Amino acid sequence: MSEHRNYQSRIFWGLILIIVGALFLADRMGGFDFGTMIGTYWPVIFIILGLSILIGSGFRRAGTGVFFIVFGAFFLLSEFDILDREVWQYIWPAGIILLGLWLLFRPVFRHRSAEKFPDIKENDIDLTCIFSGMKRRIESQNFKGGHATAVMGGLELDFTAAGLEGGKAAIDATAIMGGIDIKVPGNWRVVVDGTPILGGIDDKHRNVPDAEAKATLFIKATAILGGVTIKS
C-alpha cells in the first residue's frame, strides 16, 4: 500500500514538473508571459500542495490537505476579486473557532483503527505542558492509561521501565505547536491512531511480531502544528 501511494505521488509530481517545464518553454518561445501568470495564479501552488498531501497519504491526512486547498482557493478567488480581501479578517477567527470545535468533538469524528482501541478508564498520567518542558519516567508495572498534552512546549514520556496492566493500555497524546516524545520498550507493540493537522506523527518504533510482543500500547495521537514521535 505504501509503495502504491509513493507511485501515485511520483506520477503526480512528475506531471506537475512536465507542465511547469512546458510553460517555461512556451514563455521562452514568446507564447505568453509566464511571470505574469505566476503573479496571478500563485495560490494554485498551495492547491497543488494540498492535493499532493491527500494523494500521497492515501487521504489519511485529509485535514492538512484540505487546509492547503482551501487556503489556496481563498487567495485565488481574491486575485480575481471574487472575494473581498477584507473578508480575511473574518475567516481567520472563524478558523480558530472551527479548530476549537474540532478539538471538542474529535472523538466523534476520529478515524478508527482497524484494531479496537481500549477505553482510557484510568489516568495513571494526566500531564499538561504549556510554554515549558517536562520529562516523566513511568515505572509502574500496572500502567492503565492516561492523557498527555503539550501546548507550545515539549513533553517526554519514558515507558522503558514500565509494565502494562493485562498487557494492554491506551494513552491520548495531543501536541499543539509543541512536541511529545514517547519512548517504549523494544518488545512492545505500538498501535497508533493519528490525526496530524499541519503537523506530524512519526512512529520510529519497530513493532515486533504479535507472538513475541510482551505488551501493546495504543496511542491516540493528535499533532496540530506540532509533532508526536514514538521510538524505542
pLDDT tens digits for range 143-165: 989 889 998 889 999 999 999 98
What pLDDT, on the 0 to 100 scale, is given for residue 84?
Answer: 65
Please state, in angstroms and rounded to a whole number, the distance separating the CA atoms of residues 172 and 218: 9
Instruction: Report residues of the chain scoring pLDDT below 70.
Output: 1-10, 12, 31-32, 34-35, 53, 56-64, 83-88, 90-92, 95, 98-99, 102-122
What pLDDT, on the 0 to 100 scale, is given for residue 1?
Answer: 42
What pLDDT, on the 0 to 100 scale, is given for residue 230?
Answer: 93
- Tens digits of residue pLDDT in 73-103: 888 887 777 766 566 676 667 767 766 776 6
What pLDDT, on the 0 to 100 scale, is given for residue 2?
Answer: 43
Domain spans in the chain, listed from the N-terminal domain onward: 2-83, 125-231
Mean of all residue pLDDT scores within the chain = 78
What pLDDT, on the 0 to 100 scale, is given for residue 155?
Answer: 94
pTM over 0.75: no
